[in-house]
Amino acid sequence: MRLDLKKDLALIRKEFPILERCVYLISNSLGAVPEKALENLQEFYQMWAEEGVSAWQKEWWDLSREVGNNVAYFLGAKEDEVTMAPNATHCHWVVLSTKFLAQDERRKKVIMTDHDFPSMLYAVSKISDFKGWKLEIVKSNGNPAINVEDILKRIDEETLFVATSHVYFKSAFIQNIKQISARAREVGALTLIDGYHAPGIIPVDVKQLDVDFYIGGCLKWLCGGPGNAFLYVKPELSENLQPQLTGWFAHREPFLFAQEMEYARGGQKFLSGTPPIPCLYTARAGLDIIKKIGIPGIREKSLSLTELIINKAKKRGYLLFTPEENNLRGGSVSISLPHAFPVKQALEKRNVKVDYRKGQDKEPDVIRVGPHFYTKDEEIDILFREIDAIYASGEFKKYPKEIKHVT
């Protein structure tokens, strides 16, 4: 059954209990949980309670593959090309543990940007130290975007791989991954793309982008909760790769309990140990409802909502740290507010959920506003009405200026 965001919005909103209690504008950090996810978790419990160890045979063993194939739909990938994992950092390390073009000693350069999520930077930086690779970071100089030419000109015959983001986590700028991949392909380099802020809110087609590795998760726009990251590996590349971060789930015949590793084919090759089964159950609900709505409709609504946010912010003279152009903007808007962190806390007290990100180097401190398909236009009005009231009353002065907890 298809769902229409105009006709069925009230029905859709009933599927997300948190929407009854607050204005939820932070789906770029954690998507709202569908009510059906609780039913799915109860199904997990019943399976365990009634079947015990036989649950593996009944459903659990194939669950990673099932959910991975559902995720593949949102990536333009095929069956058995997507591997589920506990978190994106695990996926990064699976990829980084694989022998990259080991036969070509000339390739020592790794390229990233200072807008990439720190967890990927930490992983790439540490393995670069260990392997003797040279990490080059393209600087944004405090801007929300980086000119793709600044990246392309660094990619040469000495480049091993480019590790960067599809959508920047702080500014929501959409990088031209197709151009980056094309340049990497010209010189024989690989691409490792962190797409966490893309699937579920913008159209993604890993085949058209021609990427080698694409990593993401269901935590945010796919409303699947934590423990549901995923890894796509280009099939032509997958055949010859041997990840060193591995385990018995990646074995061709795991129940032979052989002493030597023989990798499975397809996505199974990139598994390791026991998957987080309850998390996989949870992921089903979000993936199902988003598929029923469809990404084109979600993207259209997202652009409308983020444009509304931009217009209201500009009307008040606030600086934006997000592109105004539709084709360059992901699903969230970052606004540079005076006293941004105290304002964020005051909004939380008023049941309006956004988050805060501290600026690095020349960047401003911002609040991030991430509406989704279940957001109403009136909720954007409420956000700005509450911000106006917080400034007018001086309420923000009651709150700490520095981060003291998770935001």
Instruction: Report the pLDDT value the prediction gives residue 245, as an integer from 0 to 100.
Output: 95
| AA identity, residue 239 | E
User: Does residue 400 surpass a pLDDT of 90?
Assistant: no
Token pair for 108: 């020592």
Residues with Cβ < 8 Å from 238, sequence gap 6 or more? Answer: 81, 265, 266, 269, 270
Phi-psi sector, 334: left (phi>0), alpha (psi -120 to 50), beta: beta
User: Does residue 404 surpass a pLDDT of 80?
Assistant: no
Token pair for 263: 């990798």
Q: How many helices (H) and strands (E) does the chain have?
A: 14, 13
Per-residue pLDDT of 301-325, as tens digits, reads: 999 999 999 999 999 999 999 999 9
pLDDT band with cut points at 50, 70 and 90 for residue 361: confident
pLDDT band with cut points at 50, 70 and 90 for residue 109: very high
The Cα 189–Cα 342 span in angstroms is 45
In total, the chain counts a number of residues equal to 407
Q: Which domains does the chain show, CATH number per domain?
A: 9-33+294-396 (3.90.1150.10), 40-289 (3.40.640.10)
With beta carbons less than 8 A apart as the criterion, state whether 161 and 191 touch.
yes
Query: CA 255, 94, 172, 219 torsion: positive or negative?
Result: positive
User: Does residue 375 surpass a pLDDT of 60?
Assistant: yes
Per-residue pLDDT of 190-233, as tens digits, reads: 999 999 999 999 999 999 999 999 999 999 999 999 999 999 99
Is the pTM higher than 0.85? yes
Of residues 346, 370, 366, the one with CA closest to residue 358:
366
Which whole-number Å values give the CA distances from 179 to 81, 95, 183, in the listed order? 23, 22, 6
